[in-house]
Amino acid sequence: GYECISANGSEDYRTPVLDKLAETGMRFEQCFANPICTPSRVKIMTGLYNKRNFTKFGVLDRSQTTFAHQLKKAGYTTAIAGKWQLGKEKDAPQHFGFDQACLWQHFRPKAKEGTTFDSRFSNPQLEINGKAVDYKNGEYGPDVCADFLCDFMETNKDKPFFVYYPMILTHCPFDATPDSLTWDPKSPGSKTYKGPGDNDQKKIHFRDMVQYADKIVGKIITKLESLGLRENTLVIFTGDNGTDAPIRTQWSGREVIGKKGKVLDEGTRVPFIVNWPGKIAPKVQKTELVEFSDIMPTL
């Protein structure tokens, strides 16, 4: 949610990488997503209101044109990493315009086969270009996806590329990250949907997840810089719904209670930062409304 970024006024979480992107780019205060993820991602990928092309949760109709299709037409090489949950066909990412894909919940379920353990974070089960890949040596799903994209950018540094990273963070289960005091590299994943522990423990884990998401954005920015591509790369950061329950966040002198799934400010208001050195002047857009049907025509 909007309240999770310290540049936006969060008092509970520190997000220095995103804060710097906001300070040196354009930060929007009035960006709105749908209150749950699939409709938001269907909209951001196609530029169409959900009334026009949403069929059901977890599906992107195969007749749709995405921003990856459009950028491929313009000569871009394309990659996606992170959360999929938009169709189980083995060729689905390529069908929708992505040359390379490292995904969670592509054609396998969110629980590890034969168990009740979540499969996205510690020792994840992913699908890379349509092939199942199981990690068992303390890997962390969001890092695996980010490293995949960094490798993709290095491989394609001499030509135009488009990277779409629907980061698995900060979705529940609210569980430890590799930077958490409670991190267990042998953990098979959470057995409960919202994560282990009481609400206070979930809040601690959520804080760690927000701050780890910021760290991963930093990893990608650092890679762009090391490749000499930062000044030729447009970076857009947003979220696909408001914060989930039971998370409560101190923000701008008041408490914001997560209301993901509800068509309320706390369920739909999300961060939106656009950064392109030398192209986009630093500014805060306080009143300009922006939402996900704007992305396709912008790109």
Per residue in 163-177, pLDDT (tens digit) is 999 999 999 999 999
Average pLDDT, the chain: 97
- CA distances to 14, 117, 172, 244 from 182, rounded to whole Å, are 19, 17, 16, 21
Nearest CA-CA partner of 168 in 82, 284, 257: 82
Distance CA 171, CA 176 (A): 12
pLDDT beyond 90 at 5: yes
Distance CA 222, CA 161 (A): 17
- Residue 15 bridge partners (DSSP): none
Exposed, middle or buried, 289 (CB in 10 Å: 0-12/13-18/19+)?
exposed
pLDDT beyond 90 at 113: no
End-to-end Cα, the chain, rounded Å: 24
pLDDT of residue 174: 98
User: pTM above the 0.75 mark?
Assistant: yes
Exposed, middle or buried, 164 (CB in 10 Å: 0-12/13-18/19+)?
buried
Any idea what the Cα angle at residue 281 is, between residues 279 and 283, rounded to 5°? 145
Q: Which residue matches tokens 């500014």?
A: 283
Q: What percent of the chain has pLDDT over 70?
A: 100
Indicate the helix (H) or strand (E) that contains 225.
helix 199-226
Distance CA 266, CA 161 (A): 34
Q: What share of the chain is helix, strand, coil (3-state, %, to 5)?
A: 30, 20, 45
pLDDT beyond 90 at 127: yes
Indicate the helix (H) or strand (E) that contains 143.
helix 141-155
Exposed, middle or buried, 231 (CB in 10 Å: 0-12/13-18/19+)?
exposed
Contact of 189 with 123, CB cutoff 8 Å: yes
Q: What is the DSSP string of 247-297?
A: -EEEETTEEEE--TTSSSHHHHEEEEEEE-TTTS--EEESS--EEGGGHHH
pLDDT of residue 215: 98
Per residue in 24-38, pLDDT (tens digit) is 999 999 999 999 999
> Which pairing describes strands 125-128 and 100-104: parallel, antiparallel, or unpaired?
antiparallel
Per residue in 55-110, pLDDT (tens digit) is 999 999 999 999 999 999 999 999 999 999 999 999 999 999 999 999 999 999 99
> Encoding tokens for residue 138?
């303390």
> Helix count (H) and strand count (E) of the chain?
9, 12
pLDDT grade, residue 208 (50/70/90)? very high
How many other CB atoms are found less than 10 A from the CB of residue 170? 24
pLDDT beyond 90 at 134: yes
pLDDT of residue 161: 98
Region of poorest pLDDT, from 112-116, 118-122, 185-189: 112-116
